[in-house]
């Protein structure tokens, strides 16, 4: 860290990211504008460009930070399925805590250091599961697709901005909405309303993950 000329910085990259995340949580996916970030930090909009070159780099950094927090708790037990389930549940919990940030994850390639670290962890667990290298590489992508896809659909199911309501409330709202589907046009859907209302629940999430892991285990 070499001292540079110029005034001391009044803020830090982290403070910018904190403000951005808080705004995403409060106002939804489009809530973290440069101007609002600057406003909550008590600074002029262009001051933000001192810390990040443009808005997309703020979003990338935010994604990396969220993945970094995940990577910091690396719990490795014996059973590979248990490990993957823990990891998947952890990722879902952290992402649904910030629904406004989820679109950022799917807005660009997963090629940052923390994303790579997450991939590396997956490969490690899958190798321990006995999958050969090629199958492990493919399996890790399948798992990422499942986790990110499930979270994306879960978040997309809620129209309004702000924090997600408790699971039970969201399921109840889904059930109420789905009872309106006409059984004459969609008989199977109408008959399965109770199950489909629970699509956004933890139980369905784990069930789907288990089906994926079953499919992977069978391919060994």
Partner DNA sequence: ATGAATGGTGTACGGTGTGCAGAGATAAGT
Partner DNA sequence: ACTTATCTCTGCACACCGTACACCATTCAT
Residue 67 as a binder of a second copy (CB under 8 A): the answer is no
The token duo for 120 is 């590396």
The token duo for 81 is 């399925």
* Window contacting DNA (CB under 7 A); options: 5-13, 95-103, 172-180, 198-206: 5-13
Using CB under 8 A, which of 159, 160, 166, 184 touches a second copy? Answer: 159
**Spatial distance between the Cα atoms of 119 and 137, rounded to a whole number of angstroms:** 9
Residue 2 as a binder of DNA (CB under 7 A): the answer is yes
The token duo for 140 is 């890790």
Q: Which residues are CB-contacts of 133 (< 8 A; sequence separation ≥ 6)?
A: 127
Please give the residues from 15 up to 74 whose contact with DNA meets the rule CB under 7 A: 32-36, 38, 43-47, 49-51, 54-56
Please give the residues from 136 up to 155 whose contact with a second copy meets the rule CB under 8 A: 136-139, 141-142, 144-146, 148-150, 152-153
* Other beta carbons less than 10 A from residue 120's beta carbon: 11
Q: How many residues bind a second copy (CB under 8 A)?
A: 59
**Spatial distance between the Cα atoms of 30 and 127, rounded to a whole number of angstroms:** 40
| Partner from a second copy, DNA, none contacting 117, C-beta within 5 to 8 A by type | a second copy
Question: Would you say 33 or 204 has its CB closer to DNA?
Answer: 33
Burial class of 17 by CB neighbour count within 10 A (0 to 12, 13 to 18, 19+): buried
Taking the complex as a whole, the smallest distance from the CB of residue 115 to a second copy amounts, in Å, to 10
CB 164 within 8 A of CB 183: no
Residue 116 as a binder of a second copy (CB under 8 A): the answer is yes
The site for DNA (CB under 7 A) is made up of 2-11, 32-36, 38, 43-47, 49-51, 54-56
């Amino acid at each position: 860290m070499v001292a540079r000329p110029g005034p001391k910085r009044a803020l830090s990259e982290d403070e910018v990211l904190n403000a951005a995340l808080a705004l995403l949580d409060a106002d939804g996916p489009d809530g973290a504008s440069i101007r609002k970030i600057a406003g909550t930090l008590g600074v002029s909009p262009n001051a933000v460009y001192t810390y990040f070159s443009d808005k997309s780099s703020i979003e990338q950094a935010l994604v990396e930070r969220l993945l970094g927090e995940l990577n910091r708790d690396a719990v490795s037990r014996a059973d590979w399925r248990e490990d993957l389930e823990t990891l998947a549940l952890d990722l879902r919990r952290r992402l649904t805590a910030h629904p406004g940030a989820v679109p950022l994850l799917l807005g660009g390639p997963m090629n940052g250091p923390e994303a790579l670290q997450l991939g590396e962890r997956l490969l490690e667990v899958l190798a321990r599961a006995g999958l050969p290298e090629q199958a492990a590489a493919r399996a890790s992508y399948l798992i990422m697709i499942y986790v990110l896809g499930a979270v994306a659909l879960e978040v997309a199911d809620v129209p309004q901005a702000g924090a997600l309501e408790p699971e039970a409330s969201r399921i109840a709202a889904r059930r109420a909405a789905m009872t309106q589907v006409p059984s004459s046009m969609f008989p199977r859907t109408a008959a399965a309303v109770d199950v489909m209302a629970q699509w956004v629940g933890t139980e369905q999430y784990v069930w789907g993950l288990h089906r994926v892991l079953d499919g992977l285990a069978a391919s060994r």
